[in-house]
A and B are shown apart, each in its own frame.
Chain A
Amino acid sequence: MSLVNFTTREITCKIVYYGPGRSGKTTNLHYIYGRVPDSRRGRMVSLATQTDRTLFFDFLPIDLGQISGFSTRFQLYTVPGQVYYNATRRLVLQGADGVVFVADSQARQLDENLESLQNLQSNLLEHGVDVRTIPLVLQYNKQDLPRELILSAADLDDALNFRDVPSFSADALHGLGVFETLKAISELVLKKLAAGTAA
């Protein structure tokens, strides 16, 4: 997908929030949605079951307006976390410029995190994308839970962050770390954009 279009002067970034079910991807998007002025956000599309589980995907377009003469848009997507929606995940992942991997910090969820991370890798590969080259940040969500239930950011880094990408502790429900994560992934994506146009 074309990231920077010098002719139409548009920058469009597609960022996908990935992670195991119930790790807080949609919560991230909700929080962001809540902070974006009305005029700047599109309608958040969320296809959810009655129990609020993402069935298909969430989509939040953000219009950042004119930046350096470029009309800049971010499109934030989440994937359904449950294992059996892999086809959807792969579809959403198509053309992603950056991925935020939202991990569930709860100790008992570690295996799910790992599994989802592997799933991300294989789905990217299906699209011919190497997980080592795509901008990726990790978010360790639910760090607000009691200490005894969760792994520390350092532990999670050891367990998940073997590529040494930026990682953030977060409490998406209350917004802690949400924008930090978004900023980090945006920066990575935009930097790659600069490099990409140079190529």
Chain B
Amino acid sequence: MTNALNPKYSFDTFVVGSANRLAVTAGHTVAENPGAAYNPLFVYSGSGLGKTHLLMAIGQAAKKAAPLLNIEYMTLDEYVEAFHASLAAGQGDTFRRRFQNVDVLLVDDVQFLSNRKEMQSELLHLTEALQVAGHQIVLTSDRPPPEIADLDERLISRLSGGLVVDIGLPDYETRVAILRRKAEERGARFAPGVLETVAQAAAGNVRELMGALNRLVAFQAVNDTTINAETAKQILGLGSGAAAAAPGDGGAKPAPGGGADEFGDFLADVTVTVGKAVEAWRARVGEAVLRWEGEGYRTQRLEALLEEDTPASVDKAIAGFTKDVERLKELEAEVAELDPQAAGESVFRDPERLSEAEKAAAKVREGAAPPPGPSAAFPLDAYAVGPSNQVAVSAAHAVLEKPGKKYNPLVLVGKSGLGKTHLLNAIGLELARGRRAVVACLSTQAFIDELITAIDGNRVDWWRARYRRATALLLDDIHLIAGKERTQEELFNLFNLLQDKERQLVFTAPAAPNTLTGLEERIVTRLEGGLVAEIKEPDREVKRAVLERLLTQQNVTPDPTLVDYLADRPADSVRTLVGAVQRVITAAAAGDGPLNAGLAREVLEGHAPRDTRRSSGFRTSGLVVSSLGGIKSREKMVWEWADVSDRVIEEFR
């Protein structure tokens, strides 16, 4: 609740006398065996006699005996306030349940139940519930239950059902004992007889007793003298035989009402105020300690402050501490994103080790390179578009327009060499332009390898965090995941997470996901769930575009006949085409002739085997000689003579 148990109020500091012995014994019993005896325990007394002290002492002792107990201390007002707040929030039931789970409930100042019908019935139910569950309830009031005005009969009997004890006025001996203990706490020494005088004079309310003692302490502190019993009487304004020494000059008459020592009064007053003011720093430090401790930070620096008498700059120290903690929080948050495991380290909870924390964070930062990004070698504008890949390209554009929203995942399907990787990387590059974009774009093989390394280095959390940060995940050749159970598992989780956050997923595969083998069903269905766009063998348009780009890259003005010739040649993939062009260009560079359709025909169809340097090289490296005399690798033979019809066309020319 709002009030924590004040550690100052324990049984150790409670002075026991005849007037409160019964209450204290009952309190001890209750604290040792909550719920077992005297339930509820009802303590009443006039104000300033130690009800709150006793209540808190019970709580402390119970906590000490069984640290796991759930102990709540509150005043009735706080209880009412909390109840109203929870009702207003529509959480009345939660509120009730919360209190029914309290093992020891300590409620102060129950007398304020007067005229609060609904709170009375609430408390009645709570008391019943706690009693049934065997949980302890202790209440205090300034009067016994029957005397609380307008209290429900049932509640009276309920509250009186356990044990009702009162705390009486402390007797003289107890008063002296209290005064001695308090004087000792304050480090004040008095001449013999002084405290006895106070004890004799003061009415008995412990608070009044404290007030009298405070005045004496202040007076002694100010005057640097040890006062005797007589002076004490004067200071406290008790009737004493000695005439008060009235300091009087300056022509002023003594004050009316005979206030003998107006200045002394004033001084005592100021002393108390100053005391409060300068001691206020303790409260502030204490607050700060509680706050940060509650949040799990180490606070020894602030605690050290409390040891000092009057530290020079408390607020600066608190501010400095707060600043350090804020920095730690920042670091922790940053690290948590990169490596959740590392964020749990205690160094992020100790402001004294801020520099270490900075270093640790720097280390994590260093280690946590963003996931591999797309390759800059595959820009989108360099991607040749034609009817054969129209669907895939328009899907890519749709993805770029609304990443994560339209086609998620996008699976690019097609045979090898058709430009899937290019398109994937191109999408990645475009996505990476976004602000704060973290695009993970890599081959599935690399993805698997990274995971294995992470498992090996016990850094799976780090690895996961790295990808979870990604605003887009693009994996090339997803079919390679086949049979990799752990990777499939990780991908599955990552997939769901990213998709939930509407982050774009793009994959490539050689065939439609449902035809791939070795993939778990859950992965397949997820891949199928977006858009599967097929890239077909390059059409003429695509080929022309690729050719023109390639030739331009070589600083060659594309010869239209060459482009036509090459574009018309059969090629089942862009890669084949690129290979052919490269060969023609190399031949031209080697001096075989100008870069034109003729040369290309010679090179590709083997009409002019003039390149002796190359042929000798090829012969020795596992290449076969074609029947036409040209030298070609097996692969190239297949490319060029893809099917009979094409070949026929060629021969017609």
A: which residues have CB within 8 A of B?
A: 4, 6-7, 9, 11, 30-38, 40, 64-70, 72, 171, 173-176, 178-179, 182-183, 186-187, 190-191, 193-194, 197-199
Contacts and interface: CB of A to CB of B under 8 A. Distances in A.
Contact of B312 (A6, A183, A190, A199): A6
Interface size class of B (residues with CB under 8 A): 35 or more
Interface in B274-289: 274-281, 284
5 contacts: A34-B250, A67-B222, A69-B278, A190-B273, A191-B277
Given A68-B271, A68-B274, 17 more contacts: A7-B312, A11-B278, A34-B251, A35-B247, A37-B263, A40-B263, A64-B222, A64-B271, A65-B222, A68-B278, A70-B278, A175-B254, A176-B256, A187-B269, A190-B277, A194-B277, A197-B314
Contacts of A67: 218, 221-222, 270-271, 274-275
Contact of B266 (A69, A70, A186, A197): A186
A149 to B, nearest CB: 20
A171 B255 CA distance: 10
Nearest to A3: B277
Contact of A6 (B248, B249, B313): B313
Nearest to B309: A69
Interface string B252-263: 111110010011
B262 A35 contact: yes
A41 B247 CA distance: 12
B322 interface: no
B277 A34 contact: no
B273 A175 contact: no
A64 B267 contact: yes
Contacts, number: 122
B221 A66 contact: yes
Contacts of A65: 222-224
Q: Could you say which of A35, A36, A65, A178 has the most chain B C-beta atoms within 10 Å of its C-beta?
A: A35
A69 B310 contact: yes
Nearest to A44: B250
Contacts of B262: 35, 175, 178-179
Contacts of B528: none
A38 B249 CA distance: 10
Contacts of B249: 34
A186 B313 CA distance: 23
Contacts of B314: 6, 197
A72 B263 contact: no
Nearest to A33: B250
Contacts of A197: 277, 280-281, 314-315
Given A6-B312, A174-B253, A179-B262, A193 B277 contact: yes
B277 A183 contact: no
Contact of A198 (B222, B279, B309, B315): B315
B259 to A, nearest CB: 8
Contacts of A193: 277
A191 B274 CA distance: 8
B7 interface: no
Nearest to B318: A198
Contact of B247 (A34, A69, A72, A173): A34
Closest 3 CB pairs of A and B: A34-B250, A194-B277, A34-B252
Given A64-B267, A179-B265, A198-B280, A70 B311 contact: no
Nearest to B222: A65
Given A4-B278, A65-B222, A186 B273 contact: yes
Interface string B198-231: 0000000000000000000010011110000000
A138 B269 CA distance: 19
Contacts of B271: 64, 67-68
